[in-house]
Amino acid sequence: MRPDEIDGVLRDALQHEVAEAAPRLAELEERIVTELGDRLPRPRFVDWVRSLAASTRPGRVGQLAVLGATAAIFLVVGMSITQDRLDGPTLTPTFAPMAASRASQGVQFSVSVPSAERVAVVGDFNAWEEMPLSDEDGDGTWTASIPLSPGRYEYAFVIDGRWWGQDPSADEYVRTFGQYSSVRYVGGGGDGV
C-alpha cells in the first residue's frame, strides 16, 4: 500500500470514528455542563439560534404559548408609557430588570416610536437576529422583555429597517462597522440595573 493510500484509509477511519463517537460526546458535553452548573452563567448566542431552530417543533408550541402569555403579563404591568413629541423617533427606552430567576433577569427594552410600523431589538444576546417589539395598545411604545443572565450586552433597535444604536439610557456605547450600538450591564456595575 502506497503512503498516499494509507493517508486516505486513515482519514476515512478517523472520520468514521468521529461520526460514531459524536452522540456519546454530545452526552458528555451535556453532563459536564450540568455539573458545572452556575459556573457558566452567560447565555451563548447559539442557544438563541437553537431555540429558533427548535421553535418549529410542534412540542414547543405549548411552551411558547405559556412564555408568550407570561411575557405579555410582564409587558402590560411593566410597560412605561411615553408620548412622542418630536418629528423623528423619540427614544425613551426603559431597561428595568424584573426578577425571573436567580440565573437570569427579564430585561425590558422599550422605545417610543409612534410613527413606526415595525420595531425590533437586535443584540449579542440574540445573535443580532431581529426580535420584534410589540405595541399592543397602539400608544406608540414598543416593548419586549428578554431574560438575560448577568453580563455585558450590546444591542440596537431596528426601526422600520433602520439601525438605531444610541439608546439614551444605555450604560455606554460602542462604534463598530461605522455604526453605534448601545451597551447595558446586567447584574453588575451598570447604572440601570
Partner 1 sequence: MNRRTKRLPAAGIVLVALLAAVVGAIAEVPLDEFDRALRAMPLETHDRILAAIDAHLSSPGFPADELYALIERLATTVGPTAEKEAILLMLMRALESELSLDGFLPAGHDLAGAIEEGLSIEGIVLEALKGIAQRSPTAVIVAGITRRLTLLRDVRDLLFSREIFRTSIGSTQAAPTALPAARFDELVVQIADAISDYLEGGGSPFDGAALYELVAVRLRRLPEAVVRPEDVDLVLDRIGPPDLTSVALNALS
From candidates 3, 23, 58, 138, binder to partner 1 by CB under 8 A: 23
CB of 13 to partner 1, least distance (A): 12
Q: What is the DSSP string of 139-153?
A: SSEEEEEEEE-SEEE
From candidates 15, 63, 83, 115, binder to partner 1 by CB under 8 A: 15
CB of 114 to partner 1, least distance (A): 25
Contact pattern for partner 1 over residues 157 through 186, marking x by CB under 8 A: ------x-------x--xxxxxx-x---xx
CB of 159 to partner 1, least distance (A): 14
| Rounded-to-integer distance, Cα 110 and Cα 76, Å | 12
CB of 70 to partner 1, least distance (A): 24
The window from 68-76, 85-93, 125-133, 138-146 that contacts partner 1 (CB under 8 A) reads 125-133
Ramachandran region of residue 71, left (φ > 0), alpha (ψ -120 to 50) or beta? alpha
**Cβ partners under 8 Å of residue 57, min gap 6:** none
CB atoms within 10 A of CB 122: 19
Is residue 81 a contact residue for partner 1 (CB under 8 A)? Answer: no
| Rounded-to-integer distance, Cα 190 and Cα 145, Å | 18
Starting from the edge strand earliest in sequence, which strands make up the sheet with 97-99, in order? 97-99, 105-112, 141-148
**Cβ partners under 8 Å of residue 1, min gap 6:** 9
Residues contributing to the site for partner 1 (CB under 8 A): 14-15, 18-19, 22-23, 25-26, 29, 38-42, 44-46, 49-50, 52-54, 122, 124, 127-130, 149-152, 154, 163, 171, 174-179, 181, 185-190
